[in-house]
Each structure stands twice: as C-alpha cells, then as structure tokens.
C-alpha cells in the first residue's frame, strides 16, 4: 500500500464529492416533474411529506410515502441507482446500527431466541426497528430528490420567500460555496506538496504534513472569508441575497401544491 494512501484517499473522496455535487446541479436543469414546478411549491410539498413521515406511526403509511418519493424521483429523472448508492445504503448503515438494539431491548412477543447468547428478538422490537429505518430512509429520499431536482440558489430563495431569516439563508449559501472552494484549495495544496516531495515519507512525517496543511488551510479560509465579506459590502451587500430569477405561480403549481398537501394530510391521517 502506498505511503500516501490516507491523504490520497481523503483528497479523492473530496473530489468525488465535488463531482457528485456538479452532477446534482446538472440534474436540476433536466426536464421532469419537480423541475416544472415553482421552487416554492417543491420546498413546501417535500417538507409537508417529510412532516407526515414524522407524524406517521404505521409502517404501511410510511411505506406508501416512500413509494411516492420513488415515483417522484423517477418522474423527475433522478437516477434510482444514484439514490441507492448515495442515500439508501448509507442511511441503512447508520440507521440500522441505531435501530439494532431495539430488536433485543423492546419487550414483547418473542420472534426468535438465541439461548446460547441469552438474546431474543421480539415482534414489537422488529416493528420498532423497521419503523425507524423506513422513516429515515423515506425522509432522506424526499430531501435528496428535492436537492437533486432544484438548484441550490432556488432552494435558498424559496426558503427566504417563506420568511426564513436572511441570516440563515446567507449562512447556508456561503457554507455551500465555501465547501467546494476549500476542497479545491486542499486538492491544489496536496498536489503541490506531492510534486515537490522526494522519496517516501514516514507515517509520523505524513501526520505532521497533514496537520500543517490543515492549519494553513484554516488560516487561508479565515483570511478569504474576511476578504469576501469586504468585497460584498463594497458592492452593496446589506444582508439580503438577491437573484435575477423571479418566481411565478402558474396553474400547474397550484395543482401540484394541492396534490402534495392532500397526500401529506392523507398519509398523516392514515398513519395515526
């Protein structure tokens, strides 16, 4: 294994993240169900479905919302393969670990017993774990479909039009852009050091180099943030982010909003 495997794998992971984000922005320009709706309708509709998922207590109702989320993804030309890799498997890993103790700790009718380990899985425990995993999978699928089918700037403007504080919107916008900028800067610094390195560095030297690089990157980010803020103020920035795109509600937007709200209320009522 290469002596630079840790740093290289980290930088490559960052590069893959940037590539996926660029693909997401490209997918937002494709014709599809959500793409034809006003961004405000998309945000309200998806968030209403997420709230209904949180309120539901029945597996059947949450499963129905999950199928709706998959149907919306297909109609919006979001790749199910991408969802499986980026959302379903990842969420299953994290939520599965959290839900695993519920299988053994929830009292109820025994479903499976391991006498040698003094453990038993109850029917109620299995249902509780399945409810948690399915709820997280559905909410993550809905929000991911929204992000993949809507430009980030349009999401922020939609949130602002729904009276989200300007400070929060500005913070989200700057954070989103700074992440990509810092990733690009870190990649350039790594390539610069790698092109000037002679021989193979020991593990301790690699750790020292990584720590120094992180320190320099942090210093650059602080300096850059100050310079960007001064540049924004000099150009008239007063805390409100404005876009050239204007949102207009059309008849299909009202139909879509009605369908979202009706589906959310129906699922919440059936999942009581």
3-state per-residue secondary structure call for 59-98: HHHHHHHHHHHHHHHHHCCCCHHHHHHHHHHHHHHHHHHH
What is the per-residue pLDDT for 186?
A: 75
Mean pLDDT for the chain overall: 80
Do residues 39 and 79 share a domain? Answer: yes
According to the model, what pLDDT value does residue 257 have? Answer: 92
With pLDDT > 70 as the criterion, what percentage of the chain qualifies? 82
Q: Is residue 16 part of a domain?
A: yes
Q: Which residue in this structure is represented by tokens 């001064």? A: 230
- Please check whether residues 12 and 61 belong to one and the same domain: no
CB 144 within 8 A of CB 27: no
pLDDT at 71 > cutoff 90: yes
Start-end of H helices in the chain? 5-27, 39-55, 59-75, 80-83, 89-105, 123-149, 152-161, 166-196, 203-234, 251-270
Task: Judge whether 152 and 169 are in contact, CB under 8 Å.
Answer: no
pLDDT over 80 at 268, yes or no: yes
Residue 120 lies in a domain: yes
Average pLDDT over residues 217-229: 80
Q: Are 143 and 250 found together in one domain?
A: yes
Determine the pLDDT at residue 22.
58
- Crossing angle of helices 89-105/123-149, nearest 10°? 160
Per-residue pLDDT, 182: 77
Residue bearing the bigger pLDDT, 246 or 45: 45
Q: pLDDT at position 165, please?
A: 84
Tell me, yes or no, whether 186 and 208 share the same domain. Answer: yes
| 272 within a domain of the structure (yes/no) | no
Q: What is the mean pLDDT of residues 14-29?
A: 62
Q: Is residue 95 part of a domain?
A: yes
Whether 192 shows a pLDDT value over 60: the answer reads yes
Supply the DSSP symbol for 261.
H
d(CA 55, CA 169): 27
* Residues 145 and 249 occupy one common structural domain: yes
Better pLDDT: 14 or 72: 72
Q: Are residues 71 and 156 in the same domain?
A: no
Q: Residue 189: inside a domain, yes or no?
A: yes
Alpha-carbon gap, residue 149 to 151, rounded angstroms: 7
- 134-175 pLDDT, tens per residue? 999 999 999 989 988 888 888 888 888 888 888 888 888 787
83 and 93 in a single domain? The answer is yes
Q: Is residue 156 part of a domain?
A: yes
Question: In the predicted model, what is the mean pLDDT of residues 212-217?
Answer: 78
Residues 172 and 107 occupy one common structural domain: no
Same-domain check for residues 102 and 140: yes
**Residue 49 and residue 165: Cα distance in Å, rounded?**
23
Host domain of residue 52: 31-150+245-267
- Quick one: tokens of 182? 């810092």
Instruction: Give φ, ψ of 195 to 5 degrees.
Output: -70, -20
Burial string for 17-50 (b: 16+ CB within 10 Å, else e) reads: eeeebeebeebbeeebbbbbbbbbbbbbbbbbbb
The predicted structure's pLDDT at residue 3: 45
**What distances in angstroms separate CA 239 from CA 94, 159, 233, one per listed residue?**
37, 15, 9
What is the spatial distance between Cα 145 and Cα 67, in angstroms, rounded to a whole number? 13
Instruction: Tell me: do 50 and 23 sit in the same domain.
Output: no
Q: Is residue 192 situated within a structural domain?
A: yes
Same domain, yes or no, for 18 and 52? no
Q: Are 92 and 133 in contact (CB under 8 A)?
A: yes
What is the total count of domains within the chain?
Answer: 2
Same domain for 125 and 136?
Answer: yes
Please report, rounded to a whole number, the percentage of residues in the chain having pLDDT higher than 90: 17
Alpha-carbon distance of 41 to 43, in angstroms, equals: 6
Out of 106-110, 128-132, 209-213, pick the least confident.
Answer: 106-110
For range 240-261, the mean pLDDT: 83
Element of type H or E holding 36: none
Higher pLDDT pick, 40 / 232: 40
């Amino acid at each position: 294994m290469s002596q630079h495997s840790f740093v290289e794998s980290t930088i490559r992971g960052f590069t893959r993240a940037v590539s996926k984000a660029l693909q997401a922005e490209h997918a937002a320009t494709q014709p599809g169900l959500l793409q034809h709706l006003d961004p405000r309708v998309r945000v309200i509709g998806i968030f209403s479905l997420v709230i209904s998922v949180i309120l539901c207590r029945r597996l059947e109702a949450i499963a129905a919302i999950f199928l709706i989320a998959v149907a919306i993804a297909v109609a919006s030309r979001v790749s199910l393969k991408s969802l499986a890799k980026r959302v379903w498997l990842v969420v299953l890993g994290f939520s599965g670990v959290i839900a695993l103790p519920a299988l053994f700790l929830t009292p109820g009718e025994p479903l499976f017993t391991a006498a040698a380990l003094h453990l038993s899985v109850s029917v109620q425990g299995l249902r509780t774990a399945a409810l948690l995993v399915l709820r997280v999978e559905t909410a993550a699928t809905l929000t991911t479909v929204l992000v993949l089918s809507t430009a980030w700037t349009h999401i922020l403007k939609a949130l602002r039009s729904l009276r989200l504080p300007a400070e929060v919107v500005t913070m989200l916008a700057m954070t989103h852009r700074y992440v990509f900028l810092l990733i690009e800067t870190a990649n350039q610094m790594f390539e610069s050091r790698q092109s000037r390195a002679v021989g193979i560095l020991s593990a301790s030297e690699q750790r020292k180099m990584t720590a120094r690089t992180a320190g320099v990157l942090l210093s650059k980010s602080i300096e850059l943030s100050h310079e960007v803020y001064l540049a924004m103020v000099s150009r008239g920035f007063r805390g409100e982010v404005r876009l050239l795109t204007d949102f207009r509600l059309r008849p299909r937007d009202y139909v879509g909003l009605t369908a979202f709200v009706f589906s959310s209320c129906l699922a919440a009522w059936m999942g009581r």
